[in-house]
Amino acid sequence: MSFFGKLFQKETSAPMVTEVSNRKISAAERRVQPRYRDGQHTYLYPLDRGPLEAIISDVSLGGVRMFTKERLAPNKKIGLVMMAKGTAMRILVETIWEQDMGGKFSYGARFLNLGWNEDSALREHLLVLKAS
């Protein structure tokens, strides 16, 4: 079984944000972590097809916004390779929203399996992005 196949077996279901009332929450209120522009080219690894090229637009401790030419299903779990601290990290993400931009698609995805090493590398990567 592939690395990402094993990750899918260990998926987490903890929500990023919990609503405590029926009041509509604005996007600004939902944003828990600041995001930083990235722009790195990467690959996505859906289980139902081969690798897809993508660009990470911005990143936060909670997830990424990425662009691809291929449409993905909402709430789709996907393997993502991301460079941080000079190391390629293999991270499981789940798509949360999609925006059709006529010929390409934008996705918001949350991280599902950040371990201590990945979290530490991501924090250092965000500091570099913040400083640039």
In a domain, 20, yes or no: no
Whether residue 3 is predicted with pLDDT greater than 60 in this model: the reply is: no
In a domain, 50, yes or no: yes
pTM for the predicted model, two decimal places: 0.71
**What's the rounded Cα separation, in Å, for the pair 8 and 2?**
10
Over range 118-125, report the average pLDDT: 88
Domain region containing 77:
3-10+30-131
In a domain, 73, yes or no: yes
Q: Choose among 72, 83, 18: nearest CA to 47.
A: 72
A 10 A CB-CB count for 49 gives: 10
**What's the rounded Cα separation, in Å, for the pair 8 and 19?**
26
In a domain, 67, yes or no: yes
pLDDT in tens, 57-86: 999 989 999 999 999 887 889 999 988 878
Instruction: Indicate the number of domains in the chain.
Output: 1
